Structure formats: structure tokens, C-alpha cells
Structure 1
């Protein structure tokens, strides 16, 4: 099996981890089938431990290998079932299993392999349809903007040697390995993260013969928070969110976080991290999810008020506008029309179906999902912020909302005039 075909298989598996495609709300114990046969209770799994005071935390931390400290009196670690049960019986300690999060992919996902020698196909998609749409220019041959703005892509990593990304890489970090951040390590054995990064900021490569993203002058912070199979632990993701926020503060730079991932249930580790980052002036853009078109299907962290939830558009016209894809998750009709973001609301729509972008093997692939829509908005945010560096993240968010209002989406199930539960405020564009 070729490397590209292996990547395709892994994405398809990730896309079928749950139906609809969202993560389980509780992490499964590794090798549970083996536990039933031998060594019951000895296999370790990820947990988060919180105590009443710092002295108790220090005592517990000395007994376990601390992975991430995500609260004043808490930390994540691994333990077996016997240890887990013992801590649960202690009234001064709260211990919970860490939820798993997966890639955000439609159940019907199909990936078209693009060979490196398909020069004609490559040339015709140097500026993919979604990029042309967000620039509102069907004749676009190149893109620009984003200088000085960081786009932190929290995903399966990225191929930082890809010709169209190599000049954009500023950070490459792995949060899935040891108990600390692994610098200069973000290898993507899946493809998803590389694809997302390309849509946000690919610069066409040194020969200018590759693919262009929305903001090709932005800086890439490639943070690997998911395994090559497309799943990861919430504490790793939360640690990466906080790290990005701290890096933005310490470097005095503007940062946009892109999260094309999600779970069906809210969990405090990620939600607290999102609030922490937002409080430090970071703008968080997150996929709405691919559980549409029923109401109330937006996944987390996209459903959080301090994250911009992005719906996916198809390259198809309906009622005079682009159409929201059926797979794209929806909000609630009860909050239609108010132009106020509440928990579980779609905020902005962007191109998400049949998106052509960079791939982990140095080539290109076409995939679909709200995962693909999200980096269009992250790139747009970076482009606008670079033009208005004095703006706060809240001013930037308001500007994105106003741009979306100007391009109403009326195509697709649930889409209607004004703020609706399918497309949100509308399609935010460059112009």
C-alpha cells in the first residue's frame, strides 16, 4: 500500500470512529480486550486529578508521573483501574477519565489522490475554488497578506518540509509524546493537519508553482495534538491551547488558533483552555462538526461562546448563494435571527467541500468537511489582523461577523435570510 493510500485509509477510519463523526465523551481504557483475559486492572489510561489544596496536589504528584498541570490544584497522568478506584473513594480528590477527541470528518468522506506528476491538475488548482470564493475573485492567480500573524494549527501535525509550507514554519511542536512539549517535532503521518495548514497559509512554494492559502505571509505554528490515526486526548489539546496563548503573550504577537477537531460533549479541560486563551487575546476558530443537518449538533470546542464555529459551504449555488453542506452541523432555530453568539451557535460559513490543499507526502489532496472550512476563516482572520495590527481579538471577531453579514447564505437545509442556524451570520470574505 502506498504512503498516500495508507493516509487515505487512516482518515477514513478516523471519520468512522463514531456515528455521527465525533469523539466519544470518555476515553476508553487501552487494550480493554486484553484486560478481560489477563492482568485485569493493570492497563493504564489517562485521567485528570484535582485536589482540595496544593499540598495534597504535591503529595499526589510525587506518586504519579505528571503530564500536564492545567489547573491550580490538578494535573493529568496515567493510572490503572485499581489506582483509579482508590482515588475515587477519597472525598478530597476528584479523578476523571480524560475524554478523547477526533478529527472532524464527514462520514461520507472520500479523498481523491493527486499524483505529483499531474501537472495540469496542480496548475489548475494553484488557487483552489474556496480561496477564489473567499477573495471574491474567480480570476485570482495568487494571494497575499497575514504578515506578522501566527496561525497555530492544532491537528495531526504538519509536513513542514512541504514546498508550499516550508517558508511559513515558525514553530513545530508535539504534545502527544512525552510529559513535556517536544520542540521541533510535529511530523504528520495522516495528512489532515498538513491539508488544514495549506488552506490557511500555503505560499505557493519558492517556485510559486504550488498551492496558495488565504494568508500566505502568516507564520505557521504546527502543534501536533492528535495521533496519526486522528485521535487524541483532551489534556494534550488543552495544553497546546494554553501554550499557544502563552507564546503569543511572551512574544507579543497576534495569534489565531485553528482547531479542525471536536467531540460531541463539552469537557472542562478544553473549555477552560479556550477561555484562558481568549482571555489572553487569542482568537479561536473551530470546526462546527459534521453531524448535520439536525439541530443542536455542533461539536466542542466549536460550540463554545469563546470559539468561532465554522460551517461548511459547497461549490454549488442555491437560491443565489453558496449552499451549506448537508453534513455540516447546525445550531438551534431558537437562536435564529438575533446576531448574538450563544453556546451551540454557528457563527460563520466558509468553503469546506472538495477542498484542494497540501498533503503530508509533499503532494496534494482533495478532502471535505468543516475541518476544511475552518482554516479559510483562520487565514482570513490573519489577513485582516495584519492589516489592522492595533485591533484586539474581539474587534477582529466583530469585523469577521460584519463581513459575514454582508454575504448572506440562503442555500442548504436550514439556511435562510439573515442569521440562521445553518450558516450563522453568513460567508465572511476578503472583499
Structure 2
């Protein structure tokens, strides 16, 4: 996998990332009478044709040259498919699901000795660590189930809170998390310890952009996610600020809307970090959007030392064998590794939870990217990505199924750390 750009002179809730039947989630199946509505992408070379359909069905999101999305039932969908002047397809859903359907542990208050969980100590390379620092001036956009912005360990970091699941336009100052996943992810990236009795993330001085793109059942449509990605890119330009996007979500199939949005944001200087997926140890199982070339796919490490290094979790998705050892980032490659098993972090009810998955590894990497960027604010997103790769290659991972010396399909370049 090729190192991206210049190198600095000195780097999922245990979830199954899957694609349900296109356009209809496992939670929302079709009604028996066929009247259950689902999301559809409509496009045409003739804008007048689109105008008529927009007026008839309404617009959820308008992607200009890519068409627009709307909601309709099966009968309406079939009728539009018969219109030769239109291109009509169901919008994929991305869904998260825990292996056990519940966290491994829940806590109403801080658990003893967890202010700096094992993953934070590992990424800081300091077993005696009691607090963290860094990330000032960098924004971490958490695209997820929302965030409890009143959590005492997160509230001082919140800069934006937006809901993209409503369509037409986002709802400002609304990003309620009723599922837990998004709040947990945000904590690993930038929790600030609260009043001194809370948990710390990797970059506690970073700003939080909480973008709700998934529903309360943990699933969401690709168009909502794509719109949020594009919005983050536009905000980076409009506010002249540095943005790291974290996406602890995915599917086994690629969405053109999300792919184009990732490319759009990356071209605007945004760094995109994503979970590798939880379909391991099978080779070639990296989920989307992590599998995209312009996204950094993060594998999950366990708190287990073998062969002198941390171990890649079996559940963590693996890259393609054909690209192993080449140090070139290609579609479907895992890029770096981070702590992702039995991760302790903030929870949506104001407490804390322990859960596992590449969803948890991704925000560790996003927090590290923010910390690096804050130390070198003139750097580009490509520079920061190159530094992540460099730091990872210094900390090669030698343990876990398919892990080995150098660039491998399990850990990628290796474990990117603070030091």
C-alpha cells in the first residue's frame, strides 16, 4: 500500500456491517400490502422529466448531477421503472448490529481505573497515563446514530449538532442518540474527562461535529450519509478549518452516492477515517466506505500481547491477499490498526459502556489524526494520512490471523500511535 503524500519528518460497537435487502432494512421490511415506503434515487438526462417527478413525490436530497432521492412504495417504484426516460434505483441502507445485541458491560458512573481505558494507554504508549491532551482547533465529525451532547465528558467539545435523517435540509441543534453507538464512538475520539472523574479520548481538545445519519435502530440510508459527508466538506471550506470525518458504519456493497461524497470531501481537504468492518478473518472482507481508496480503513486490535505486539481481533475484516506487502492503498485494503476490543467509553444515557468492534478502532485513529493535525496545522489531509501510515509502520503488528511482518491484510501498515 503506497504512502499517501509527503511524510512528516518525525502516522464498531462489536458490529456486523452488512447490506440488507436493497432499500429495505432488516428492521423495516415491506408491508404485506406493498405500501411500505423506502428510499429511491431518481435520475434523468432530461431535467424536465426530473422536475415532474420531484413535484409528484417530493425531494429528500437533491444531488444535482447524480439525481435526487425520495420515498415511495413498491407500486410507485415499479411504475417509474417502466418510464424509459428515467433511471430509478433503490438507495442502499447501511446497518450496524452488535454480536450479542447488547454492550458487554454498562455503568451508571465511571468504573474504577477507567479514566484512561486500555486502548487510550496503548495508543499513547504509556501504561501509567492518567489523562490525555491535544486536538485543539481540529474538528472531528462523527457520522453515526447521534451523540448525547449533554454527556459531561463530551459537552464542552460540541461545536455542531445536526440531524441528516430528516431530508430536504438537516435539522440544526438536533442529534439525539437513542442507540448508544455514536456517543461511544465520540468518547473514544475526544472525551475530555468531564469534571475530572470521567473518561478521556485520544484528542480531548478537538471540537465535536455530531452528525446524526443513522436512525435509532442503528440503520441509515446511503443518501443521508452522503449528504452529511458533503456538508462536512463544505463546512471545512466555508469555515477554513481542518476536519476529520469518522464513520464507524458500513456495508458489504458500495454506494455510488457515498463514494462520490467521500471523493468530494477528500478533495476539499477532509481526512476520512472509517471502520474496516467486522467480517473477519475472511480475506477480502473490508466493508464500505472503509474499502474506498480515499478513506482510511482501520482494523481492530485486542488487549492481548502475542509475538511482542497487540493482536488483531478475529472479527476484524481483512484486506485482499493480492495486495499484501505492496504498501499501496487500493480498494479493499486495510490501512492501519487501533484498539477495538472491549473498549470503555461514553454512553447515550450519560453513563459508560464497554463494547467491541472496528467501530471502536476507527475513532481512536480519528482522534490521533486530530492530535497530529493540531501539532502541524499547516499540513494537508494527505500529509496527516501519510503520518498515520508512517507511525503505523514503526509499530508493526505480528499477531492475529493473517498478521505478519510488513504490510499485511490484517493490520495494514501497523498500529499508529501518539509516540
TM-score bracket relative to the smaller structure: over 0.9
Q: Does the aligned pair in 2 maintain the 1:47–1:79 contact within 8 Å?
A: yes
Aligned equivalents of 1:188, 1:32: Cα separation in 2? 23
Runs of 4+ aligned residues of structure 1 deviating over 3 Å after TM superposition are: 29-34, 104-110
Q: Deviations over 1:65-110 (max 9, x none)?
A: 1011124251000112222112111222111001110126446875
Query: Structure 1, residues 352-385: CA drift from partner, whole Å, max 9, x if none?
Result: 0010000111111110000000000000000000
Q: Show the 5 A alignment for 1:150-299.
A: 150-205=139-194, 207-299=195-287
CA separation of 1:32 and 1:139: change in aligned 2, threshold 3 A: closer
Residues 427, 98 of structure 1: alpha-carbon distance in 2 compared, 3 angstrom cutoff = same
The answer to whether the 8 Å contact 1:332/1:421 transfers is yes
CA contact (8 A) 2:105 2:353 kept: yes
C-alpha distance in structure 2 between counterparts of 1:366 and 1:225, whole Å? 23
Q: Aligned residue for 1:42?
A: 35
Change (3 A) 1:178 1:270: closer
Q: Alpha-carbon deviations, 1:162-194, whole Å to 9, x = none?
A: 000000000000111243200000010011100
**Structure 2 partner of 1:135:** 124
SS class of match (1:397): helix
1:313 to 2:301 alignment? yes
Which residue does 2:7 correspond to in 1? Answer: none
**Distance of aligned partners of 1:73 and 1:287 in 2 relative to their CA distance in 1, 3 Å threshold:** closer
**Cα distance in 1 between the residues matched to 2:285 and 2:66:** 33
Q: Distance in 1 between matches of 2:58 and 2:68?
A: 9
Q: What is the 5 A alignment of 1:367-382?
A: 367-382=355-370
Residue 386 of structure 1: how far off its partner (Å)? 0.6
| Distance of 2:28 and 2:131 partners within structure 1 | 49
8 A contact 1:104–1:290 mirrored in 2: no
**In the aligned structure 2, how far is the partner of 1:204 from the partner of 1:368?**
21
**Unaligned 5+ runs, structure 2:** 1-11
Contact kept, 8 Å, 2:167 with 2:224, in 1: the verdict is no
Task: Confirm or deny: 8 A CA contact 1:67 1:179 kept in the other structure.
Answer: yes
Deviation at 1:428, TM superposition (A): 0.4
Distance 1:135 1:276 in 2: 32
Instruction: Tell me which residue corresponds to 1:83.
Output: 76
> Is 1:196–1:357's contact at 8 Å kept on the other side of the alignment?
yes
In the superposition, relative to structure 1, how do residues 184 and 43 fare at CA in structure 2: closer, same or farther (>3 Å)? same
- What is the deviation of 1:25? 5.5
TM-score by length of 1: 0.91
* TM-score (norm. length: structure 2): 0.94
Correspondence 1:343 to 2:336: no
CA 1:355 to 1:337, structure 2 compared with 1: closer, same or farther past 3 Å? same
Task: Give the Cα separation in 1 of the matches to 2:198 and 2:379.
Answer: 32
Q: In structure 1, the residue corresponding to 2:225 is in which secondary structure?
A: helix
Partner of 2:410: 422
Contact 1:234 1:269 in 2 (8 A): yes
Shift of 1:21: 4.2
d(CA) in 1 for partners of 2:175 and 2:239? 21
Residue 23 of structure 1 corresponds to which residue in structure 2? Answer: 19
RMSD, matched Cα: 1.8
Distance in 1, Cα, partners of 2:190 & 2:340: 16
Residue of structure 1 aligned with 2:393, choices 395, 405, 417: 405
Deviation string, structure 1 residues 132-158 (Cα, Å, up to 9, x no partner): 111111111111110110000000000
Whole-Å separation in 1 of the counterparts to 2:161 and 2:242 = 17
What is the CA–CA distance in structure 2 between the aligned matches of 1:425 and 1:402, rounded to whole Å?
8
- What displacement does 1:32 show? 4.9
User: SS of the residue aligned with 2:56?
Assistant: coil
Alpha-carbon deviations, 1:330-353, whole Å to 9, x = none?
Answer: 001111111111000000000000
Is the 2:17–2:249 contact (alpha carbons within 8 Å) kept by the matching residues of 1?
no
Unaligned runs of 5+ in 1: 1-10
Moved more, 170-179 or 280-289: 170-179
* SS of equivalent residue, structure 1 residue 85: helix
> Contact (CA 8 Å) 1:157, 1:222: kept in 2 or not?
yes
